[in-house]
Chain A
Amino acid sequence: MTWDPRVTTLRLVVALTAVVAFTAFVVALVEARDPLVVAGLCLVALIASSLRSVHTQRQIELVSVVLVAVYVIAGPAAAVIVAAAGSFVQAPAPKIKLIFNSAQRVLSAAAAAVAYAALGGPVGDEVFSRMPDALIATTAASVVLQVVNALLVSMVLSLERGLSGVGEFFRHVVRTTAIPVLGYGLLGLSMAVVWLGGLNIFAGVLILGPLLVARWALSQYEAERLAQAATMRAFIQVIETKDLYTRGHSERVSEGAGLLGRHLRLSADRQNALEHAGLLHDVGKVGVPTSIIRKPGRLDDAEMDAIRLHPARGVELIGNIPFLEEVKSAVLHHHEKYDGSGYPAGLAGRNIPYFARIIGIVDAFDCLTSTRSYRPARSVEETLEILLKDRHSHFDPELVDAFVEVITTRGWKAAEDQLPPDATVQASIDHDDLSLGSGGGASGSAAGPSA
């Protein structure tokens, strides 16, 4: 076995954290009073942490509500004990992770306990006469709880995965939980008020009930979203069966556009919309007769007009779905060209919607890197050169540069070779194909579809 300094350091750090946490726990045991109340709170915390793992990946949630309540109900020391009790329920993980998670929970609770005590937060019935103090101290405690939690987790993450792991953690976990955490502080305080008001352990039901129902609704939301994505993909696959050569094209365009979108740092909503637009850009092909799509050789003008209708057909089809408006404009304009020679509207330059410019690039890229019956697939490098060559005539030059950068750094898994299932099928020409100068597909006249 090779000796890895990082693993050893990681183990040392975890061991050290565990020792400090254990010390804090022992001190808390000595300090805490009211064993019956603490036991009741431990029970609620255990229930809360077992509920936590039902869905959502967030580590801190229901338990932090209970913890904040403990500061007010039974004092800071009790909170450390409750945190330790709560960490008995954890998702299965390697032993070292379990130890570290328990230790960091105890330590963050202890740090928050110190903050609560330092600010003179009220304990017990005092809370009824000192609401402003309670509000300040509980808010401070929940902030400290989260900050220490974030610091400890990023410490081990930096040892385990390096600094990029920490960045990920801050972007995805800390940023999204910062605001809810303040809300949970308030909720913890209301739990404490109702507990001390005489309800005791039943206060837990009042707090956890609505949270669980909300959680259920959010899981349904997630399920509906996944169902929608899956349904759209299945449907796109059906449309692609019309054309023997474009299998997987829409999903790859969606993926490529997604890569570029992340590079351009779009907001989550727009990123999602861009990926939808990539998936759906050719959906209107369902309205183009299969005989034209599969026709061998060049298309005559009437047939080309039928092809040029597909963006408008696509918008007609998805028009009712409450997507961002940008999805629809991208589907409509993904065959526009930067010099104004595209269809359906002959838009030029920045007049072409942003998403349509993105889809146009990825669309052409995927077409060129895929096999067509009349030509083999091009290599990624060769294709990127073609894109760069056409960067002013066909595409937005800045977006082409960005796309080339993304593909050269992130790489690209091109379409697998697809042989027509039936050898008698003859060459049909892809309307997206750039490699075929005029008369093929890509560079038609700027005329819109003839009605």
Chain B
Amino acid sequence: MNAHESDYQFRISGSGIAIVLAGGILGVTALAMTVQRGLTGWSFAVTFGILIVVGEMVQFKVDRSRNRAPIATSAALGYAMLRGPEASPIPDVAQVVAVVTIATVIGLIPRVVAGLRWDIVISTRRMISVAAAAAVFALVTPQTMHWDGTWSNAVPITAAMFLAVLTAGVSDALVGAGQATEALNRPFPAALRDELVVLARIGLAMGISGVLLAAGTSLIGLWAPPLVVVPLLLTQFAFRRFASAQRTYRTTVRSMARSTEIAGFSSPGQNARTASLAVAIGNDLGLTPARMEALEYAALLSGVGQLALADPSPGGASLLRSREERQQAAEIGASIIERSGVLDHVAEIVRHSNDPYRHGRANNSDIPVESGIVNVALAYEQLVGEGNGQTPGKAMESIGLGIGAEYDPVVVESLRRVIGRGFRF
């Protein structure tokens, strides 16, 4: 596996431990309460439980953020929002939490055994947000209110379901944003904005499918899950393909970037190191996911223009000593990237990645800040990266000399923070 694959994965962090602990206590309590009172509605518990198990088993990673399990999420939400006439007795909140907990654990086991990507924190978050939805739904919907074919009952129940789903989504987005802030040092508002954008897409599909599943099961009992399985499978299928295409594209760009190393223009790992620093700075500045992606690609591809130049000197040292040569290579690189027709932002960033701040961004606000980031990341990598061996402090010092003239002050400040937090290649 590529070392970069882990860039966006949350390590088990302080908040992760707290989340798993809270989820564990919640699950055990709910389990104890359910055992004491006895499980009601076995057939529903088993059917929804199986859906959740399957959904957990086929979870996947999308939007470079984290694993998603649309089938499991919809099924759990659906189980949390059942009402009569057909789905009775209605499971209480404790039973919902208990069933979701057990099913989630069972669903994760095959992934652990098979060595697939799994994340107990993410799965616990899913379970906690479903618990929140179940609680909200139980609170705002009187026990006596049932689906009976009338508009006057159906609309309030559906409104309550949407409120519950929204609670689940927003609470999970808040937790997710907190975790992103902790792990990647993204500013909280930016992280929350990203979470909400994702919520409006796959979250919307999962939530509505959950509502549909609950409404259908309430009306026609266990006939509903097989009927409603279509949108669930469709969501799963569509996002899985999306995720795999995304992954393929990303590795393609990374591989293409490595061509400068194979051709001898840059040392092994140089592009990857530059990109990881640029990404850390971008996170610190809270760029949107789309801009983060362009930034990463630009950092990876910033040297690609050299391919069109003559052979590198033996030993691989950079031929491009003068600024003019570097700017020329950046210009060529940008026109190469532009030729693809799909990476125009990336080309723009690369084009200006060797412009000194004073002659570039200071006077021309059209030049993206990302160019300044790539410029600083390249410079820092040159100083500290493999074989060059300066200490971070020393490198910071020499970059500091270029503030305002060579380097964008905002970016250098951000670099100082990133290095101060212990960033190492």
Nearest CB of A to B328, in Å: 15
Q: Which of B209, B252, B259 contacts A228 (CB 8 A)?
A: B252
- CB-based A-B contact count at 8 angstroms: 198
Q: Which residues of A contact B220 (CB under 8 A)?
A: 128, 131, 193
B254 at the interface (CB under 8 A from A): yes
Q: Are B255 and A321 in contact (CB under 8 A)?
A: yes
Per the CB 8 Å criterion, the residue count for chain B at the interface is: 69
Q: In the complex, A111 Cα to B206 Cα: how many Å? A: 35
Q: Are A213 and B311 in contact (CB under 8 A)?
A: no
Nearest CB of B to A197, in Å: 4
Q: Which of A193, A221, A228, A234 contacts B336 (CB 8 A)?
A: A234
Per the CB 8 Å criterion, the residue count for chain A at the interface is: 64
Q: Which residues of A contact B255 (CB under 8 A)?
A: 317-321
B245 at the interface (CB under 8 A from A): yes
B395 at the interface (CB under 8 A from A): no
Nearest CB of B to A221, in Å: 4
Q: Which stretch in A75-83, A287-295, A358-366 binds the other chain?
A: A287-295
In the complex, 21 of the A-B residue pairs with CB atoms within 8 angstroms, ordered by the A residue number, are A131-B220, A183-B233, A190-B228, A197-B154, A198-B155, A199-B151, A199-B155, A200-B154, A213-B205, A214-B235, A217-B202, A221-B238, A224-B249, A227-B249, A231-B249, A231-B253, A234-B340, A235-B304, A238-B336, A239-B259, A290-B310
On whether A193 and B249 interact (CB within 8 A), knowing A209-B205, A217-B241, the answer reads: no
Q: In the complex, A241 Cα to B247 Cα: how many Å? A: 28
Q: In the complex, A283 Cα to B245 Cα: how many Å? A: 21
Q: Are A200 and B151 in contact (CB under 8 A)?
A: yes
Q: Which residues of A contact B310 (CB under 8 A)?
A: 290
B262 at the interface (CB under 8 A from A): yes
Residue of A nearest to B208 (CB): A209
Residue of B nearest to A210 (CB): B231
Q: In the complex, A221 Cα to B244 Cα: how many Å? A: 8
Residue of B nearest to A289 (CB): B311
Q: In the complex, A193 Cα to B212 Cα: how many Å? A: 10
Q: Are A131 and B2 in contact (CB under 8 A)?
A: no
Q: Which residues of A contact B307 (CB under 8 A)?
A: 238-239, 242, 286
A347 at the interface (CB under 8 A from B): no
On whether A235 and B256 interact (CB within 8 A), knowing A230-B342, A321-B248, the answer reads: yes
B193-230, CB < 8 A from A:
201-202, 204-205, 208-209, 211-212, 215-216, 218-220, 223-224, 226-230
Q: Are B258 and A217 in contact (CB under 8 A)?
A: no
On whether A207 and B212 interact (CB within 8 A), knowing A196-B149, A197-B149, A198-B148, the answer reads: yes
Q: Which residues of B contact A198 (CB under 8 A)?
A: 147-155
Which of B216, B241, B249: most chain A Cβ within 10 A? B249
Q: Which residues of B contact A234 (CB under 8 A)?
A: 336-337, 339-341
Q: Which of B241, B248, B253 contacts A218 (CB 8 A)?
A: B241
A226 at the interface (CB under 8 A from B): yes
Could you tell me the dominant secondary structure of chain B's interface residues? Answer: helix
B308 at the interface (CB under 8 A from A): yes
Q: Which residues of B contact A196 (CB under 8 A)?
A: 149, 219
Q: Which residues of A contact B152 (CB under 8 A)?
A: 198
Q: Which residues of A contact B241 (CB under 8 A)?
A: 217-218, 221
Q: In the complex, A239 Cα to B308 Cα: how many Å? A: 8
A173-193 vs B, CB cutoff 8 Å, 1 = contact: the mask equals: 000000000011011011001
Q: Which of A125, A221, A286 contacts B262 (CB 8 A)?
A: A286
Q: Which residues of A contact B201 (CB under 8 A)?
A: 213, 216-217
B158 at the interface (CB under 8 A from A): yes
Q: In the complex, A137 Cα to B247 Cα: how many Å? A: 42
On whether A194 and B259 interact (CB within 8 A), knowing A186-B227, A210-B209, A228-B245, the answer reads: no
Residue of A nearest to B200 (CB): A213
Q: Are A193 and B224 in contact (CB under 8 A)?
A: yes
